[in-house]
Structure formats: C-alpha cells, structure tokens
Structure 1
Amino acid sequence: MTGYATGDFDFDPRRGVAESLWTASGWSTVAAIPGTVCGVGACYAPPHAAPRARLAVVLEADGLRVSDTGARGMQVTELLPAGGTWRLDGIERRGTYHRRHDGQLTSLLVTSELTPLHGHPGYVLRVAVRNRSQRDLTLRLLPELATGPVGELPLTDWGWMPPEPEAAAHQRPALRHGPLETALAPADEAVFELAVLLDGSNPAGFPGAWARESRARIGRRTAEALARVPRLTTEVPGLDTYYRRSLASGLVCLWDNPAFATVPFPATSGIDGGALCAYAWDTGGYAPHTLALLLGRRTADVLEVMVKGDLTDHYAIAPDGSGIGVAYAYSGWSLVMLAHAAACHDGITPDLVARLHDTEAHLAQRFPAVGELRDYGGQQNLLEMRSTGWEHVVASPNAERAWSLDLLAELAEEYDAPVRAAPLRAQAQRIRQAVAQELWDPEAGWFRSRYPDGHTELAYSVQAFDAMRAGACTPSMSTALLAHLRDGAFLGRYGISSVSAEDRLHYELGDVDWSGGGAYTGEAPQLALTLWEQARPRSAWDVLRRVLWMGEHFPYFPQDHYCDRPAAQPRGRRANVIAGLTGAEAVLLGMAGLRPRVDGTLDLDPPDWLPGGLELRGLYYRGHEIDVRRSAGHCEVSVDGRVISAGAPAPLRLLGEPT
C-alpha cells in the first residue's frame, strides 16, 4: 500500500491560523468553538442549518463547577485548552484543570472527540475526564445547548453564503446522551457521549456507535477518493506537507448525501456552510486532473449535472443541481478542461462531447461578439474586482475560449463525436491572433481591456498569465509579461498578488482574492504550473515556494490569503476551497511533468531543474501503477513494478505506443 490513509492528514492546531476549525463528514459539518476544550458551534447538514447553535459543557467535581468558555485571564474555575489534533474524521482536543480550592487539589485531564455524523444531520461529542486528584470525586457533566434559529432549507438555497433560517424557525435539535454523573476514583476515567441531531430525530443505538460508524465511513470514502493519487516523498522542505494539505482541501469539499445531484458532489467550499454550490471554474478550471483522480468515473456525472444545470445562464449549481447566479465568463472553458481530464483518465462519451460543444457555444453567444472576440460584460460576469479595469473585451477569458475550442476539437476526433474539429481549430487560431493584435500594448508589455465606448485600460491582473498559458502570446510577448513577475509587483514573500502592487489604479487590500494584496488560493500554484509548462522551472519553483507555509498553518486551504504577511487569512471569507487542490496539480503536472492524453497514453516531460529530489509512488492511470523518482540529473520510472527508464531526464512515453 503506497497511498494515503486518514491519519496522514492529521494537523496540530497549535500551528493553525484559521479563525476556527471545522470538521466535515460529507453529510454534516460542524465547528469547534475556538479556545474551548469541548465547545461546539455552528452545524450544517443540508438541508438542515443551525448557524448559531452552541453546545457548551460544565464539569462539576464535588460541587465545584469548572466552565469551558474559552475565556482568558485568571479564571479560577476555567478549563484550559492544552492541544489536540484536527483529523479528516473529526477534531480531538485536550484540556487541563489543576487548582486548589479550600486546601484541596482538584486536577482533571479532559479530552474531547468531535465527530460530524454521516447518515444523520448533526454530530457526536465524546468527553473523557480523568481524575488526577488524590481523592475520590463525584463528577457530573452538565451540557448546555443553545441553538438559535434552526431550519430545513431547500437545497436550492445553498449558494455562496451560508443559508440563514428564519428567526421564527420551529425546528428543534435533539440532544441525546447517556448517564451524566459518576463516581470517579483517583486515576480513573469517565466517558460521556452526547449527540446533537438537527432534525430532532431519535435513531436506534447510541451516540458512540453513531460516531464510530461515521468515522469508519469517512475512512472508507477517503481511501476510495485517494486510491489513484500518488504518495509524495521529497527532500524539499515543506513540499510534502503542502501537497498533503492540498489533497485535504479537496477531500473536505466532497459531499455524498444521496439527496445531492451527484455522489460525491464537489462543492466549491462548504465546510463552513457557505459555497456548498459547485462552480465550474473552481471544479474544472484549477485542478481538473487531480479532481479526476479523486472522483474517478464519477467525474462524468459531475459534468452531466453541470450541463443540465445550464451554466450558460448561471455561475454555479446548487447541491440539487439547479443553477444559481448569473452567467460566468469562465464556465465554458472550465467545463471543457474537466471533460478533457476525465477523458484522459477514464474516458467519456461522444454524446457528452457534443453537448459540451453546445454549452460552450451557447455561453459564448450570451456575450456580444466583437470581431473574433467576445465582450464578457462587467465584474459580475468576470473576476468581481471592486475597481473598473479588467472587464468587457479582455485577454482572459477570450484566450481560454480559444484553448477550449482546441480541446473540444481534440475530444471530437478521439471520440468520433458529431462535431467538426477543423472549424474549431481555425476559430481558436483566429481568436488567439485577435487577442495578440487587438489587446496587446507593446509599450506596456501587457494586455489592455477594451470597453464598448472604445475606452481601454491597463489593469495589471494575474489573469494575463492565463492568456499566456492559453497560447495567446508570442515568445516576445511572454517575455514582456513575465518581466512583471517580480518582487514588489506580483510577487510577495508569502505568495502572489492578484493585481500588481505597482498598479496604482486597481491595487487594493480589501478584496484580496482578485484586487490585490494576496490572491485566490488556486492562483499561485496555477501560475507555477503555467511556468513549468513554459519550460521555466526555476521561476515556477520561485512562485510555488512562497506558498509552502500554508501547509504548516492550515489543515485545509482557505478561499484566499495575503501575500505580504505571514500565515494570514482575510477575515470573513470562506474557510475552505476546492481550488486548494491546485497545489497537488502543480506538483503532478508541473514539477513531476506528467502529461495525460485523451487517447489513454501517458507521457512524462520532466523539467530539467528541480529544487531537490522527489518520488511519486502509486499513481494509478488506466489500470496501471506508475512510480516516478527524480533527483538532480536523474529520472527513474516504473510501470506496474518494472523499471522502464532510468537515466538523464528526457521526454518519455510511459503508457501507450512509443513517441
């Protein structure tokens, strides 16, 4: 067994910098209250929402009440947090109480285990109390459940923001537990198990059994998702941790409630109840190959649901598959990217290729044609920047549309789909030429955006590098673009900026993901992948190394982060994001140089420079197990346990006919 197990993703919260820690089962998600040992906060289990729920416990030892509120200062009867572990299947916390009262020492070790339930909407809290006092104690656990409004909301309501039940909601969660009082001798331990069920149900069995069943289910779904993902071993400091946290970011976005449109359902975020919808851009635009490894053949199910959800008119689909929001400029390209990855790993049908072609064409028609290019509208259809600038006729996503047409042509030929490939390729070439001829400003070394009234602007957005990745740049244009990729402009010590700090019109610090001061979490590794694809391995590593700190400080990656301040996450943003998978994508396709093809072949195009050795073991592709070992000047590849190549790094066909 070379792959990963649940325990490989354990995280020490002492290093954590997130506002709060959440844990999700794929059915329920729940937050631990910061600073507490046993406190539990909001819980979501679609369609059930309890955004202001709070479960607190008070320990009573021989009449002495010990609170667990997270209060600071010299609280003489406060349980003190002392550590714990975030796990894929729950959150474990540890606390201590050690004080004298009236000449007697009361000393307690308290551990809690918070488990989000699978199959039931809610969670189980297991509290273990060890008596470290040198006397017998009568111990009581006093739970206090405050819920606020709790409601059952239609799955169509689960969009970007966590749904809010009406203040007058009548749904009452149920608190289930066994005995809460016991006599405790010195060194003995008492265990209390409590469950909160948002639907008020009373299923058969006991909370402890429900928790064990849920953890076992989480273990199985984790093993299934990671069965084809290679294990990374590396001497490069921080890279292994970053890779694992990247994978964890994808795992916590997978939901498998059978009421959802697909199982699993790849939410854009969801661990804090928000963005439980699925954007095509996040789902296919950032890490399509890594996501295809996690989903397997069910990737095609996701594509089917997104096509049916009519992303020509919406930016995302809700958990029930219904469309929400406005048309989004990047959706067509993102769907095609995910379909291309699915074709590489598992194959798709000719009919799906045809319907994807229709979807891409209909989405393009939503936006006015300006010669070969499209006017993609205002910020609501694009990056949602807070300044005017990267709007209307822009290099990206016009360049991505050309890329998607080329990919559709490739899919049409491979699957003999009822789509003519030659006109698609010809149109793609005309679009790329128009981007270069009509939007490029050679003096600035950057793309201009053109507005309907003829006004143009130079907005130094990171999206320009995506136009380069999509093939819209000549070598001299690429050189000019990359000259802007420097410290104090796009590069910060802890990541990249979505808008160059040298852009005095558009750079700001209030909208970190797309307006500057930081970036959306997928952007830095995607830029690194772009640079590896451009055969610039040293520049690629220079970008990726700046975000390796995230693996040390987040159990799963947040929506966005600052690039100029260490271990910093903007407040009030989504706690997790599926685009966090892009880190793994950059390692697999960029740093390692893997190249899956739609005909089922697999190539390796290893970069000629690495910052240190690495090994990928257990990549499963088309029924074969692939291992890749890299060091300075050497590359060894095994297929199904047999070494097929060992020597200087060079392009190589791993599966299929030799090149």
Structure 2
Amino acid sequence: MPPYSLDDFSFDLRRAAPPAELWVRSATGTVTQLANTVCGVGAWFAPPLAAPDSRLTISFEVDGRRVVDAARPGAGDRGLLPACGTWRPDRLVRHGTYHQYADGRLTSLAVESTVVPGAAGYELTLTLTNRSNNTHEVSIQPDLAPTKTHRVPLSEWGWVPPGPGTDDEIPFHHSDLTATLPPHGKITFTLTVGPSGQTPPPDTQTGPLADVLGRLPVLTSDIPGLEQYYRRSLASGLVCFWDHPDFVTQPFIATSGLDGGALCAYAWDTGGYAPNLLSLMLGDSLVDTIESFLDADLTDRYAIAPDGTGLGVAYAYSGWSLVSLARAAAAERPLDPTLVSRLYDVVIALDKRFQPDDQTGVLRDYGDQSNLLEMRSTGWEHVVASPNAERAWALDTLADLSDLSGAALPTTELRDSAQQIRTEVIRQLWDADAGWFRSRYPDGHTELAYSIQAYDVLRAGACPLDVAAALISHLRPGAFLGEYGVSSVSAEDPLHYETADIDWSGAGAYTGEAPQLALTLWEQGEPDRAWDVLRRLLWMGEHYPYFPQDHYSDKPGAPATGRRINIIAGLTGAESLLTGLLGIHPHPDGSLTITPSPVAPGNVRLSNLSYRGHAIEVAIESRRTTITVDGREVAPGQVIPPR
C-alpha cells in the first residue's frame, strides 16, 4: 500500500479562497464545476479534444414543483442550496440541501453530486436522499448546452487554453431520470458527457499515479499549518501529471494544464523549482523528461507541447534548468555519457543564441523581457546578474556530470569559464553603494531593479560574503517581505514595483519564488531567516486545494482575473521543506548528506524516503535531531554512500 492515497489530499471546499474555480483531473482529461451550484459542470479538456464552453446545468422536479440548482443569495429563493463539498485530485463531491414546508407537507432532500473526469469528458453521479416521512415523485432535468468540441492537434496546446469548437457534437448519456423516492429512501442517477460514452472513468488509485504516490516522503508535524502546506504542495504537482498514450512522455509533466492552458512543459519551471522532488516522484522516467526537452530546439523555444513540439521563444533560463534537472537525475541513477554530451551541446547552443556583451565578452546579453521573466517595467533586462550566474553554475555542474559519467567534456575549460563569469558578474554589475545588482543595456544605460531574481545569483554561488550579506539585508517587512509571502519586486523600489501583474512585478510573486527563497536561505546557513520566509506561506495550505500560478504577499489570496489555475512550481514548497528545513542533500555522485535545521515552533518528522535503496527517516525535535538510515542512526552531515 502506498503511504498516501488520494483521500489524503482531500480538501474541504468551505475553506477555499477565491477565486473559486476548481478543476479535477484524470490521467488524460480535466473538468471544472459551475461555481455556486451543487450539480453544475463546466468546461472539460481531454487532448486532442477541448470543450471550453461546455455547460451542464441540472434542475429537479419534486411532486410537480421545479427546484432550481444555482440558487441566488438572499431570502425568498427556494432552490437547491449549496452546503459543502470535498475536492480530491480526481473528483469533486458537492452537497446541497432542499428543505421546505408548505401546505402542511415537508419536503426535505439532501443532494450529493460527484463529478469524475474520464478518458474524455466526465461522469456526473447524483444521489438524492429523502429526509422526511413523505413519498416524493422526483425527476432530474439536465440541460447540456448545445456546444461542440474543438479538436486541437497536440502540437498546438500552448500557454493559452483552446477556444470554443465547431467540430463534433458532444455525446450525452444517462439512465432513467425519473423515480419514486420513498420515506428516508435514496436514489442515484448517472449522467455521462463526452465521447467516452458510458465507460466508467479509469481507476486513478492504480497505475502510474499510484506509483508516484508510493514514492512520496511522508511529513508530519505539530507546527500549525506545516503538514497541510506540504500536502497541498504535493497536490500541486499531482494535478500536473498526465498519463496520455500519445504524449511525448508517460507521465508528461505540464506547467499548468487543468484549464487547458499551459498544458505544455516549460524547461524552466520543470527543472528550476523542484528537481529533487520530481526525481523522487518520477523515478527513472525523469530521464525521458530530460530527453524530451533535448529533442526540442531550445535555442528558439521555451517549452514543448504534449507531443514534443517546441513552442515559444528562446528562454534565458532553459539551459540552467535542464542541467539542474539532470543533476537531480544523476543523484539517483548513473547518467549515460551520451545524455550528458547532448545536454552540453544544447547548453552551448543556447549560449550562442544570446550574444556576449561588448565589454569583456564573458557575460551574455539575455535580451528583453520576452526572453527573461517578463517584468513589465524596463529594468531586469539584457546584461543581468541572473541568469548569468546560473550559467556559471550550469557549466560547473556539466563538468561534474562529465567526470562522473565519462562524457569527456572539456571540463577544465568549463570550470575556468564558470569562474570568469562569477568574477565578472560581481565586477561589472554589483553596485556596492546600493547593495544590489545593476542591469546594463547595449547602449550603456543601467538600471537598479530590486527584483527577487537577484537572490538566484546568491543561490548560484556567485556572491562573496559581503555581497551576500548586502542582498540578505533587503529581506525585511515593507520591502520584499509581506505578511503572506514575498514580493517579486521590493516595495521600496518606486520605479518598478506595481500591484497589477504580481508574479514578477511586485505585490506578490510566482508561486515557486517564496519557498525557493526560503530554500536559498537554508543553503546559505540562515535558518532563522529561512523559516521567517516559509512561515508566511503556511496559510496557503489551509485555503487552496492546489496552488495557483501566483499569489499576493500582503493579503491572503490570488488575483481574481487572468489564468491563476495551477502551477508545477507549487511543488517548490515541498522541495524547500525536504532539502532546506530537513537538509536532505542528494549529490550527483549518488551520495547523500542530511543536515536538518531545527525550528523553534515545533517538531517535524519525515518517513517513507527511499534513496538509492536506503530507507531514511528524519525527526527534528526541540532538543534532538535524529537521522536513521536502514534503521541505523547516523550523525547530521555524515556522507551516506550510494548502494
């Protein structure tokens, strides 16, 4: 039995923070509810089919009286009233009540709806329970909007969800929808929408998803909110997993995908935020994921469609992200030297895509916002500290992977280039008076943009002690720190800070950034500061079934407009806890070190961690940290060799 089942990721819908659009997934499709209804079902996607404007509404007739779902707020509305519900990655269960006394007769019905996505489309099950002593004649009156599916080639599933279709009528099947409901009796109706007909949805507790659940480490804690935050972070990854036979890999890890958008996979956030956790979850299939990116032309693309077709423009972070993913893969299995050589070729080709700057030729000009992380103001562009620093880290890591695999890369040249880059990042771009990095444009214009991306330079190992101390000094309330997270641009930066587009321009951040900042601080030997950042995020585990693309830092919640559905970078919270707080450090030679950081608020335990055949448990308690490997206690920092 896996340590987790999908029930362990159930979420009480009464706790959901707005926006309230919720999706559930199967291995090959997704579907959403109609908000403020007990039974209504909205859009669904099952590549290559898209049904973004599909709408199924339900009304009831009880003893000749019509009862409408989607009751409006306020006194006097006597429709079916929403009561509560439960989200699980693979299904949505909602409850409603109808309780009316009229003409000396009580009508009291409980309604439960369960919507489960199938291979394509979905199945809706309605259960009516009579809570009175009266007999009722009941009929279900469904209304499926007369829309059609949109048949979209797999190569075209990019960032934007597919639009309405004109291709095929949507099949609709159901059982007899009329019944006599005896006193305290119960009746169930089944309705199926989509070309899967009446075939039951696949069992999502078996197969690839069960394998993934079996690999997940189990975290428990008495720190309020921590355990729930960890589970919701894991759920954020689970809803990005697709097991479609026609996709380029099985499973395929989408950047988002629940609402049909960003069903593609970005090299950047696949490899850049939770590579070690993805390695645990995917096992040996992680190598297939890396190869799928290498097969695409990343010198001119940032993502791959579900069939492996390249999408978008060149992304400055793609090379570093792939190397990061490969390093995580190497820690758990030896890499083929051919794979390392291919990775080197792609990184060098991407380097050549971005021209050297005109001063020393060491640093790269990474272009404008279309090639970077899309801050809306002029600022963090062209010759920037990040990702130049990550490029140095990637070259060093490629040299390490070459030594370990026998790929015969020019390792001395790689390491020399990496050191030159680190030196020039500080010499050319560090402004000691400001305690921050400048960005330089081709004509010599410079900008001081207080972007959270500067902390990636710290994580990449390019910062001397004085530079690191200056950067960390900016992590304070009213600047980067908000009560509910971090701001992607310091609120003390009047030129670049804004409150409308929060993921990279201020007032909030891309969901992976705050936990990655906490992880960076743990890696820098700043455990108190790291915990101070991470604790600001624990509210998310209480109010989201899975994490949205971005969220505010000064108030709990995400913007109500735009695509805020789900994001693979939601896994970063769990990655930060595993490799930061618990200090589990896999190394590309297959060895492992564990250096936990105790925290004052309480205790943390980790179990079900399997690494290279070792069974590992970690316990952080107020007076003692205990690490056991295969049942034997080891000291913090002790090297655990591979098997």
What band does the TM-score fall into relative to the shorter chain? over 0.9
C-alpha contact (below 8 Å) 2:208/2:243 kept by paired residues: no
Matched residue, 1:171: 168
Shift of 1:201: 5.3
Deviations 1:512-538 (A, max 9, x none): 100000000000000000000000000
Shift of 1:500: 0.3
Pairing 1:24-39 to 2, within 5 Å after superposition: 24-39=25-40
Letter in 1 for 2:443: D
Question: Could you tell me the TM-score, scaled by structure 1's length?
Answer: 0.95
Deviations 1:500-556 (A, max 9, x none): 001000000111100000000000000000000000000000000001100000000
The residue matched to 1:373 in structure 2 has which SS? coil
- The reply to whether residue 79 of structure 1 matches residue 84 of structure 2 is no
Pairing 1:86-105 to 2, within 5 Å after superposition: 86-105=87-106
Letter in 1 for 2:98: Y
Pairing 1:274-285 to 2, within 5 Å after superposition: 274-285=261-272
Letter in 1 for 2:14: R
Deviations 1:549-580 (A, max 9, x none): 00000000000000001234442223000000
Letter in 2 for 1:390: W
Query: How many residues of Structure 1 are paired with residues of Structure 2 in the alignment?
Result: 639
Distance 1:570 1:608, change over 3 A: same
Matched residue, 1:237: 224
Give the Cα separation in 1 of the matches to 2:602 and 2:341.
44
Deviations 1:303-345 (A, max 9, x none): 1111111111101001110001000000000000001101112
Matched residue, 2:390: 400
Distance 1:265 1:201, change over 3 A: closer
Give the Cα separation in 1 of the matches to 2:53 and 2:71.
17
Shift of 1:348: 2.1
Give the Cα separation in 1 of the matches to 2:273 and 2:542.
22
Q: 1:416 aligns with which of 406, 429, 435?
A: 406
Deviations 1:96-142 (A, max 9, x none): 0011233322111000111011xx21100000001123211111111
C-alpha contact (below 8 Å) 2:25/2:89 kept by paired residues: yes
C-alpha contact (below 8 Å) 2:248/2:292 kept by paired residues: yes
Q: 1:326 aligns with which of 313, 324, 328?
A: 313
Give the Cα separation in 2 of the matches to 1:602 and 1:449.
37
Give the Cα separation in 1 of the matches to 2:170 and 2:457.
50
Deviations 1:252-274 (A, max 9, x none): 00001111111100000011111
Segments of 5+ residues of structure 1 without an aligned counterpart are none
Matched residue, 2:144: 145
C-alpha contact (below 8 Å) 2:121/2:196 kept by paired residues: no
Give the Cα separation in 1 of the matches to 2:640 and 2:248.
36
Give the Cα separation in 1 of the matches to 2:615 and 2:478.
43
Shift of 1:218: 4.1
Give the Cα separation in 1 of the matches to 2:565 and 2:20.
8
Give the Cα separation in 1 of the matches to 2:67 and 2:208.
38
C-alpha contact (below 8 Å) 2:208/2:251 kept by paired residues: no
Give the Cα separation in 1 of the matches to 2:129 and 2:433.
72
The residue matched to 2:138 in structure 1 has which SS? strand
Give the Cα separation in 2 of the matches to 1:155 and 1:101.
55
Letter in 2 for 1:461: S
Matched residue, 2:489: 499
- The reply to whether residue 481 of structure 1 matches residue 471 of structure 2 is yes
Segments of 5+ residues of structure 2 without an aligned counterpart are none
- The reply to whether residue 652 of structure 1 matches residue 638 of structure 2 is yes
- The reply to whether residue 63 of structure 1 matches residue 73 of structure 2 is no
Deviations 1:402-423 (A, max 9, x none): 0111111110000001312121
Letter in 2 for 1:517: A
C-alpha contact (below 8 Å) 2:439/2:446 kept by paired residues: yes
Deviations 1:384-440 (A, max 9, x none): 111100000000000000011111111000000131212111100100000000000
Give the Cα separation in 2 of the matches to 1:389 and 1:411.
35
Deviates more, 1:316-325 or 1:148-157: 148-157
Q: 1:301 aligns with which of 263, 279, 288?
A: 288
Deviations 1:143-186 (A, max 9, x none): 110153421111122111101145xx131111111111111101
Shift of 1:634: 1.7
Letter in 2 for 1:126: T
C-alpha contact (below 8 Å) 1:25/1:218 kept by paired residues: no
Matched residue, 1:124: 123
Shift of 1:302: 0.6
C-alpha contact (below 8 Å) 1:7/1:87 kept by paired residues: yes
C-alpha contact (below 8 Å) 1:399/1:470 kept by paired residues: yes
Give the Cα separation in 1 of the matches to 2:29 and 2:312.
25
Give the Cα separation in 2 of the matches to 1:299 and 1:24.
21
The residue matched to 1:510 in structure 2 has which SS? coil
Give the Cα separation in 1 of the matches to 2:207 and 2:74.
43
Give the Cα separation in 2 of the matches to 1:219 and 1:549.
31
Shift of 1:35: 1.1
Shift of 1:33: 1.1
Matched residue, 1:565: 555
Distance 1:185 1:2, change over 3 A: closer
C-alpha contact (below 8 Å) 1:228/1:621 kept by paired residues: no
- The reply to whether residue 225 of structure 1 matches residue 226 of structure 2 is no
Give the Cα separation in 1 of the matches to 2:209 and 2:87.
15
- The reply to whether residue 20 of structure 1 matches residue 9 of structure 2 is no
Deviates more, 1:418-427 or 1:254-263: 418-427
Shift of 1:485: 0.6
Shift of 1:279: 0.3
- The reply to whether residue 337 of structure 1 matches residue 324 of structure 2 is yes
Deviations 1:65-124 (A, max 9, x none): 11112422235441001101101220111000011233322111000111011xx21100
Shift of 1:468: 0.8
Give the Cα separation in 2 of the matches to 1:70 and 1:507.
41
